[in-house]
Structure 1
Amino acid sequence: MSDDTLRLGVVCSGPTMPAWQAECLRRLEATTDTRLACLLVDDSPVDSNGSGPRRSGGLSRRLLDDHCQSMTPVDTAEELRDIEQFGCSIRTRDGRRRLDEVDDAVVADAGIDALLAFAVDRAADSVLAAPPLGVWAFSHDGAGSPPPGFDELLAGDPVTTAELWRLAPDGEAVPLRRGHFATVEHSLRVTADQVRFGTARWPAQVVTDVQNGHGEYVDGDPVSVEWGGDRTPTAGRVALAFGKQTKALADIALQGAANWTVGVIDAPIAEVAADPDGVEVEWLQLSERNRIVADPFVAPVGGNPYLFFEDLRYDDGKGTISYLPLDGDYRPDRIRPAFETPYHLSYPYPVVHEDTTYVVPEMAESSDITMYELHAPDEWERVATLVSGNRGIDPTIVEYGDRFWLFCTRLDDLPQTNLYVYHAPHPTGEWVPHANNPVKTDVRSARPAGTPWVDDGTLYRPSQYCAGGYGKKVIVNRIQTLTPTEFAERRVGELTPDPEGPYPDGLHTLSGYGDVTVIDGNRSVRDTYHARRRLQLAGRAALGRLPPSPNVVR
């Protein structure tokens, strides 16, 4: 790096490029101490052997990429007008695009630290050795590859995985970033857009790690990779993909509606997480078919513990917060209203600090994460906006080390998939975003699912498994690294619904208070009332008009 500025060269087809690639460059330019130094445009002629800049599988790709926002051409000529352009040579053979030649003098004179190569999956050894940080490429961007999510849709895999690699010789590569996205069965377009736009920030995040002194993985050991090559979908596989999407729309109409409720377990949360099969749950039994309760948490008020939870009626779809005394008598007629706003409310997360009880409910529609002080179960006083302009989902606060940490996802950024972290010296703030948000991209374990806890000095974080649908089960993660500039966690356990129990179809909250743990559970219901809702949802899904709600499949 020259003058502490990291300089990147970009290998592309020209200044007019797909929208997701343009977004990738914008994020790089917005990164501190980073500069786009030059564009290397493929000037190889198209020949009869298929070499040159043409991508293979034109008709199939057009059918599958039609209406994908991520592939809409964007002219970046004005934005990149001050960036020099040079030629490069790319050869296409057997569906693989190999960056064969880059002028060494261009790389040296421009002071390029890394090359970001779009639609390339191989590079000549001389090219790989030219920039100090190597050549970076996306796994889902191969010349002969179908759109991301296509193979997973046909295989019935609920998870679509994407990677950013540093290319190495002999078909190997060093992993720089990996993410796991939901395969949206009824819409390959949505899957492809989520993956492409969701990975567009990754090169900027690698740059941020390098700038913060955490980029040692860029020089890690390469591994064998299987991506690339000609995997152009046949007409039969394209037809099968459209058939599977149609069936998925029908399934939305036919599947049962969610019937969530809450349950109490007389055991500490760490014990429940360690042996979930050995617990007994006392469930709150609701009789109203249009009402659900979920997201339970226990908080002390005036020296007495109360069970708070989301209370929602399907008639208006608007959640409020209700409560019950935590005294063993969990009859529905004892439920009382605790808090209501013009916005949908859920996930009433409690924070007890210096003998004061606060609650941070999810209220993403307000565009802020807000904290309230509890003077009584039904008397809430707003005390602080923790993070403004953040449509936070399931905001979760824990004290660990020398500060407080807030975990959440965002309604406006893949709410089941991208994990955001903030930190502060006090629960009321000032909250500072992690240097590399979102710190994790994983539909299997990003979204918070209850109370983190510390066991033998180690922090554990419950999260939701949302692959294949909302609220399938709870994943337990062990936090390995948590600093203002670094984050890492590893999955170490899971809690699944009891298939023989009264609520076998979902579990998405695990929270603790002393020697008590509270959870929620779901039982799918099929009746005339809910069938009408499912048909409406299927129609809106077919038109691409499902609302951006993280809980839309309730």
Structure 2
Amino acid sequence: MFVNAFRAALVVEGEYISAWQYRMLERLQASGNVHIAMVIFRQPVATAWLQRFNASWLSVLHYFDGKLFKCPVTAQRPTSLLALLGDTHLCDVGSRRYQHLLAQQALDVVIDLSAQAPLPDIIAAAKYGVWRYFYGHLGDKTDSYVGIREYAGQQSEMLSGVECWRVGQTIPDYLFLATTSTDMASINRGIEHSLWKMADFIPQRLHELFQVGECIFFSNAKQRVQPTTLMPPQHKPSSSFLMSLKILWRYPNNFLNKLFIALFRDEQWILLTKAIGDVTDLGTLEHLHKWIPPRDRFWADPFVVEHEGEQYVFFEELLYARGIGHLACMRLNSDGSHSEPVTILEKPYHLSYPFIFKYQGIYYMIPETASNHTIELYRCEAFPFRWVFEKNLMEGVEAYDATLLEYDGRWWMFTSMRQHQSCSPSESLYLFHTDDPLSTQWQAHPQNPVVASAAHARPAGRIFTKAGKWYRPSQNCAGTYGRGLNVNLIQQLDQHTYREETISSYLPEGQNDMNGMHTLGVGTPVSVVDAVHVHRRLGPLDRWVVKLNCFFNRPILKTRYALAAIPLAFLWFDT
């Protein structure tokens, strides 16, 4: 059963681990690539009174957050690992059995789930080193405080990943890096998103190592985790009195912001058009011509198709009363106007992102059908309005915004996926390839997910070429869904390696009454994008409210106000 599988050791601080770590071990065992040969127990380090106080404070915080947002923290629930071990060898650090097993087991990798520095003899025993998770900052090796610092500091993303310690190193190599969008309302939701996603990190990277070999694997890791993208380790406690005050400030502030938006704003996805010269520079997307739909619906996910000298825009239309999207099409006139939209595809489940491509003279469409757990293919019978179901390219997957590219003699599918319902669907880009776009046998890329970033992963339109280079539009979903757009230059694409570099970004946070974008429909000479249009019921007064809110939310100013309040309080009581 374990022929050619990696032999791994597991380091823990006791029988109980977090539920997301238990899921990670289940994924390892199901892969068939890894055999847990031994489990090493380390005595946990005694905690100081301040750490115990912080833990108690966090428990109270998680409890009330879970009640308020109906989201208890399930990922950190203590779970016994004994049910997964079977006949696995067990030992304590420093024991005679421990020394004997290290010498005899011929380990390939050690997975260290403890919060302590890895021991030199364990590092020396593993061919590919000791692999450890980090949370939020490179110095954090426990999931106890994940998301706390980011929520308090209003950071849009939470950092996490896997590091590797090998013999002779004073600092580790970083094998994988991911960011998760910080939930701006609930700490618990952000923690759930981050930790359940992390359950896939080590199984996926071991699968990549198994497929491509040591040389390519470590080369890929070095390329995808550039040192400039990493934040220096911070050993400052993630929970302190000042941070607690920041968190307590954030809850009522978030509530008031949401109440203000509900009472005085309407947000609606609309389409915008412009003859764009350099589409790789998203800064040119300002001052576009707006196509605002009726107030009972929104339009989003535009794709431009040129057919027989005419331009057509395919897009998602969602009627608020119905609650799920369908697909529509309209012709783009030479004077910049458009024809009335015509519904082209409607299902009992949600449809969006009508990606259209031409193959062997026939138009095909792949809409987003994640709620049906399929990637569906439709064939055009009469352009542009009649489309018929052809087949499912994939089944049993939750895939979003599938985007095809014919490159170097193969067809490549870029799609955003999630492996757990608590994770965001917008933060992990998966890549598949085949020699026939109509095939149902798509081969997964060994680096999957090839991009793991809330700010850059999810597809945002057709991949386009300029001056012999290929560019992939992507969404920025850090902090909120559909926050903005990126254009990424594809640097390397083959069956072992994928690399890209972001060369342009645009975040329309309030400019021209726009508060987000997430799809770029490239056309010639006119391109179309979507955006969140803000209908302000208070008119100009709305902008002053926003400026005032930004002023009071500056971290430095809040600290100064808190310090200034202390002497003022004494003066008040003296009177």
TM-score of the superposition, structure 2-length normalised? 0.80
Q: Measure the CA separation in 2 of the matches of 1:509 and 1:218.
A: 29
TM-aligned CA distance change 1:455 to 1:315, over 3 Å: same
Indicate the residue corresponding to 2:291 in structure 1: 284
User: Pick from 387, 390, 393: which aligns with 1:380?
Assistant: 387
Q: Which amino acid letter does the alignment assign opposite residue 521 of structure 2?
A: S
Q: Which amino acid letter does the alignment assign opposite residue 62 of structure 1?
A: S
**1:72 aligns to 2:82 (yes or no):** no
Q: Measure the CA separation in 2 of the matches of 1:347 and 1:399.
A: 19
User: Pick from 209, 217, 232: which aligns with 1:215?
Assistant: 217
Alignment of 1:410-421 (within 5 A): 410=417, 412=421, 413-421=423-431
Q: What is the Cα deviation at residue 370 of structure 1? A: 0.8
Indicate the residue corresponding to 1:326 in structure 2: 332
Q: Which amino acid letter does the alignment assign opposite residue 383 of structure 1?
A: E
Q: What is the Cα deviation at residue 234 of structure 1? A: 2.9
Q: What is the Cα deviation at residue 68 of structure 1? A: 1.1
**1:182 aligns to 2:181 (yes or no):** yes
Q: What is the Cα deviation at residue 297 of structure 1? A: 0.9
TM-aligned CA distance change 1:17 to 1:301, over 3 Å: same
Q: Which amino acid letter does the alignment assign opposite residue 14 of structure 1?
A: G
Indicate the residue corresponding to 1:10 in structure 2: 10
Alignment of 1:123-522 (within 5 A): 123-140=118-135, 142=140, 146-167=144-165, 172-211=171-210, 212-213=212-213, 214-217=216-219, 226-227=232-233, 229=235, 231=237, 233-235=239-241, 237-238=243-244, 240-255=246-261, 256-267=265-276, 271-274=278-281, 276-277=283-284, 281-286=288-293, 288-300=294-306, 304-328=310-334, 334-374=340-380, 375-410=382-417, 412=421, 413-430=423-440, 431-497=442-508, 501=512, 503-522=513-532
TM-aligned CA distance change 1:489 to 1:108, over 3 Å: farther
TM-aligned CA distance change 1:162 to 1:500, over 3 Å: closer
Residues 60, 234 of structure 1: 8 Å contact kept: no
More displaced stretch, 178-187 vs 242-251:
242-251
Q: What is the Cα deviation at residue 215 of structure 1? A: 2.0
% identical equivalent positions: 23
Q: What is the Cα deviation at residue 520 of structure 1? A: 1.5
TM-aligned CA distance change 1:125 to 1:79, over 3 Å: closer
The Cα offsets for residues 447-468 of structure 1, whole Å up to 9 and x where unpaired, read as 1101101234432100001112
The Cα offsets for residues 138-189 of structure 1, whole Å up to 9 and x where unpaired, read as 1129467752111011111111111211136786221111111101021111
User: Pick from 83, 89, 107: which aligns with 1:84?
Assistant: 89
Q: Measure the CA separation in 1 of the matches of 2:292 and 2:118.
A: 62
More displaced stretch, 241-250 vs 201-210:
241-250
Q: Measure the CA separation in 2 of the matches of 1:161 and 1:298.
A: 36
Q: Measure the CA separation in 2 of the matches of 1:348 and 1:162.
A: 33
Q: Measure the CA separation in 2 of the matches of 1:454 and 1:83.
A: 53
Of Structure 1 and Structure 2, the greater helix share is in: 2
Q: Which amino acid letter does the alignment assign opposite residue 177 of structure 2?
A: R
Q: Measure the CA separation in 1 of the matches of 2:8 and 2:340.
A: 63
The residue matched to 1:447 in structure 2 has which SS?
coil
Q: What is the Cα deviation at residue 481 of structure 1? A: 2.7
Q: Which amino acid letter does the alignment assign opposite residue 188 of structure 1?
A: I
Indicate the residue corresponding to 2:547 in structure 1: none
Indicate the residue corresponding to 1:117 in structure 2: 112
The Cα offsets for residues 418-459 of structure 1, whole Å up to 9 and x where unpaired, read as 112222222212323323432221000001101101234432
Q: What is the Cα deviation at residue 523 of structure 1? A: 1.7
Q: What is the Cα deviation at residue 8 of structure 1? A: 1.1
Q: Which amino acid letter does the alignment assign opposite residue 84 of structure 1?
A: H
Q: How many residues align?
A: 509
Q: Which amino acid letter does the alignment assign opposite residue 123 of structure 2?
A: L
TM-score of the superposition, structure 1-length normalised? 0.83
Q: Measure the CA separation in 2 of the matches of 1:176 and 1:7.
A: 19
Residues 464, 508 of structure 1: 8 Å contact kept: yes
Structure 1 unmatched runs, 5+: 90-99, 529-554
Q: Measure the CA separation in 2 of the matches of 1:222 and 1:104.
A: 37
The residue matched to 1:273 in structure 2 has which SS?
coil
TM-aligned CA distance change 1:229 to 1:170, over 3 Å: farther
More displaced stretch, 26-35 vs 299-308:
299-308
Q: Measure the CA separation in 2 of the matches of 1:445 and 1:123.
A: 33
Residues 147, 192 of structure 1: 8 Å contact kept: no
User: Pick from 57, 62, 70: which aligns with 2:59?
Assistant: 62
The residue matched to 1:334 in structure 2 has which SS?
coil
The Cα offsets for residues 250-287 of structure 1, whole Å up to 9 and x where unpaired, read as 4233223322211222346xx2223642776333233x
Q: What is the Cα deviation at residue 519 of structure 1? A: 1.2
Residues 475, 493 of structure 1: 8 Å contact kept: yes
Q: Measure the CA separation in 2 of the matches of 1:450 and 1:388.
A: 22
The residue matched to 1:208 in structure 2 has which SS?
helix
Q: What is the Cα deviation at residue 309 of structure 1? A: 1.1
Q: Measure the CA separation in 1 of the matches of 2:396 and 2:347.
A: 18
What's the C-alpha RMSD, in Å, of the aligned pairs? 3.2
Indicate the residue corresponding to 1:30 in structure 2: 30
Q: Which amino acid letter does the alignment assign opposite residue 84 of structure 2?
A: E
The Cα offsets for residues 343-368 of structure 1, whole Å up to 9 and x where unpaired, read as 12211111112221111111222211
TM-aligned CA distance change 1:56 to 1:424, over 3 Å: farther
Q: Which amino acid letter does the alignment assign opposite residue 88 of structure 2?
A: I
Q: Measure the CA separation in 1 of the matches of 2:302 and 2:231.
A: 44
TM-aligned CA distance change 1:65 to 1:521, over 3 Å: closer
Indicate the residue corresponding to 2:567 in structure 1: none
Q: What is the Cα deviation at residue 507 of structure 1? A: 1.9
**1:105 aligns to 2:100 (yes or no):** yes
Structure 2 unmatched runs, 5+: 64-71, 539-575
The residue matched to 1:27 in structure 2 has which SS?
helix
